[in-house]
Amino acid sequence: MLGSGGVSDGYEVGSKRQRMMESNPYFAVSSGASGFQPYGYGGGFQPPPFPVVRLRGLPFNCSDVEILKFFAGLDIVDVLLVNKSGRFTGEAFVVFAGPMQVEFALQRDRQNMGRRYVEVFRCKRQDYYNAVAAEVNYEGIYDNDYHGSPPPSRAKRFSDKDQMEYTEILKMRGLPFSAKKAEIIEFFKDFKLIDERIHIACRPDGKATGEAYVEFISAEEAKRAMSKDKMTIGSRYVELFPSTQDEARRAESRSRQ
């Protein structure tokens, strides 16, 4: 079971971190002179540690579903896959419903996900907030006890993708595993794509990876279509990245194997 991050078809993690923060006591923040305290922690009592762990060594085709399965039986509030310059780094943050869940999660350190062993270790709330600020279209997710730089502006957060070289190809990540070509065409209905050049990536066993490659009529049209980045298909928000013909061909080749 998941925490307040939302659930659909058993394995969906909600992308609306705002709702998660409003409904979970570990996300309560102080608000300047109002002296607001986290729920139940007034009168000088210190709240327990923020219930987050960091994962390292994840497979590069990893999705939040694999992470949820890796921590099966634990109550997960949020999963955040860490990207840099549009590429998955093999790291993730996982927020649990409470500190005891973290202790159980740490016992899974160096267990395997596929052929890779995954490191699970403690981290700080500010590390998670930093990652959220860099990844999610949301301003001000940090508490007043953290004296680092505030979250970057919207323009700064999207500068990496803006500066990347575009071709006619966009990569989609985070698709519902049931997504069909018709849903992708509908998603990009305001843009000119080539219907027969949509490839939904699959694993060798035929199961969808949650990724797809879409070819547009021009690099300029692909760049315009990036305005759909982090919009939703069903209950999932979809990330978009500039890609290449070679990357799309490799994905198509892997799907055929």
User: What are 25-35's pLDDT values in tens digits?
Assistant: 555 444 344 44
CB atoms within 10 A of CB 122: 13
**pTM of the entire predicted model:** 0.43
Residue type, position 220, single letter: E
Measured distance CA(162)–CA(181) in Å, rounded: 26
pLDDT of residue 222: 94
Q: Can you say whether residue 234 is alpha, beta or left, with left for phi > 0 and alpha for psi between -120 and 50 degrees?
A: left
pLDDT of residue 161: 55
3-state class (DSSP) for residue 25: helix
Q: Which residues of the chain have pLDDT under 50?
A: 1-16, 18-23, 28-42, 137-160
CA distances from 160 to 24, 62, 63, 112, 156 (A): 31, 22, 22, 32, 8
Q: Tokens at residue 144, please? A: 């007043």
